Amino acid sequence: MKKVVKFGGSSLASAEQFKKAGDIIKADKERKFVVPSAPGKRFNDDTKVTDMLYECYGIAESGKDFKAKLNAIKERYQEIIDGLSLKISLDSEFETIAKNFKDKAGKDYAASRGEYLNGIIMAAYLGFEFVDAAEVILFGENGEYDAEKTNELMRERLSKLDAAVIPGFYGAYADKTIKTFSRGGSDITGSIVARAIKADVYENWTDVSGFMIADPRIIYKPKSIDTITYRELRELAYMGATVLHEDAIFPVRSEGIPINIKNTNAPDDEGTWIVESTCQKPKYVITGIAGKKGFCAVNIEKDFMNSEIGFGRKVLQAFEENGISFEHVPSGIDTMTVFVHQDEFMHKEQKVVSGIHRLADPDSIDIEADLALIAVVGRGMKSTRGTAGRIFSALAHSNINVKMIDQGSSELNIIIGVANADFETAIKAIYDIFVLSRL
- How do the domains of the chain map onto residue ranges? 3-275, 288-436
Q: Considering the chain, what is the average pLDDT of its residues?
A: 95
Please compute the mean of the pLDDT values over residues 49-73 and round it to a whole number. Answer: 98
pLDDT of residue 354 exceeding 80? yes
Summarised one tens digit per residue, pLDDT across range 369-385 is 999 999 999 998 887 88
- Residue 409 has φ and ψ, to the nearest 5°, of -70, -20
Cα(335)–Cα(338) distance, rounded to whole angstroms? 10
Please compute the mean of the pLDDT values over residues 277-302 and round it to a whole number. Answer: 93
Q: What's the confidence (pLDDT) of residue 417?
A: 95
pLDDT of residue 429 exceeding 90? yes
Please compute the mean of the pLDDT values over residues 107-118 and round it to a whole number. Answer: 98
Q: What's the confidence (pLDDT) of residue 409?
A: 65
Under the banding of pLDDT at 50, 70 and 90, the label for residue 439 is very low
- Residue 255 has φ and ψ, to the nearest 5°, of -110, 0
Cα(157)–Cα(151) distance, rounded to whole angstroms? 10
Side chain identity, residue 390: R
Whole-model pTM: value is 0.90
pLDDT of residue 317 exceeding 50? yes
Q: Give every CB contact of residue 307 below 8 A, 6+ residues apart in sequence.
A: none
Q: What's the confidence (pLDDT) of residue 411?
A: 74
Under the banding of pLDDT at 50, 70 and 90, the label for residue 237 is confident
Alpha carbon 52 to its chain's center: 21
- Residue 254 has φ and ψ, to the nearest 5°, of -65, -20
Task: Specify the CATH architecture of the domain 288-436.
Answer: 2-Layer Sandwich (3.30)
Task: Specify the CATH architecture of the domain 3-275.
Answer: 3-Layer(aba) Sandwich (3.40)
pLDDT of residue 332 exceeding 90? no
Give me the percent of the chain exceeding a pLDDT of 90.
87
Q: What's the confidence (pLDDT) of residue 407?
A: 81
Q: What's the confidence (pLDDT) of residue 234?
A: 86
Burial class (CB in 10 A: 0-12, 13-18, 19+), 255: middle
Under the banding of pLDDT at 50, 70 and 90, the label for residue 437 is confident
